[in-house]
A and B are shown apart, each in its own frame.
Chain A
Amino acid sequence: MCLGIPGEVVEILDDRPDLAKVDVSGVRRAINIGLLENEKLEPGDWVLIHVGFALSKIDEEEAKAALDFLEGIGQAYADELAALADSRIE
Chain B
Amino acid sequence: MTSQHQQYRELSREEQVLARIEKARSRKAKLKEERITLSHGSGGKATQTLIEAVFLEAFANPLLAPLEDGAVLAAHGGRLAFTTDSYVVSPLFFPGGDIGDLAVNGTVNDLAVSGARPLWLSAGFILEEGFPVADLERIVGSMAAAAERAGVQVVTGDTKVVQRGKADGCYVNTAGVGVIERPLELGVAAARPGDAVIVSGPIGEHGITIMLARGELDIESEVTSDTAPLNGLVERLLDAAPGVRGLRDATRGGVATICNEVARAAGVAVVVDEEAVPVRPDVRGACELLGIDPLYVACEGRLVAIVDGDQVDAAMGALRSHPLGEGAAVIGRVRDDPPGLVLLKTSFGGTRIVDLLVGDPLPRIC
Contacts and interface: CB of A to CB of B under 8 A. Distances in A.
A complexed with B: yes
Interface residues of B, number: 19
Size range of the chain A interface in the assembly: 10 to 19
Interface in A1-53: 1-3, 5, 7, 24-30, 49-51
B289 A5 contact: yes
Contacts of A49: 289
B364 A3 contact: yes
Interface in B271-286: 281-282, 284-286
A27 B219 contact: yes
A26 B281 contact: yes
A49 B284 CA distance: 16
Main secondary structure, interface of A, reads strand
Given A3-B291, A49-B289, A25 B284 contact: yes
A22 B72 CA distance: 50
A9 to B, nearest CB: 15
A16 B137 CA distance: 41
Nearest to B222: A26
A28 B219 contact: yes
Contacts, number: 46
A5 B366 contact: no
B96 to A, nearest CB: 15
Interface string B278-314: 0001101110110100000000000000000000000
29 contacts: A2-B365, A2-B366, A3-B366, A5-B289, A7-B289, A24-B285, A24-B286, A24-B288, A25-B281, A25-B282, A25-B284, A25-B285, A25-B288, A26-B222, A26-B281, A26-B282, A26-B285, A27-B220, A27-B221, A27-B282, A27-B286, A27-B289, A28-B219, A28-B220, A29-B217, A29-B218, A29-B219, A29-B220, A49-B289
Interface of A: 1-3, 5, 7, 24-30, 49-51
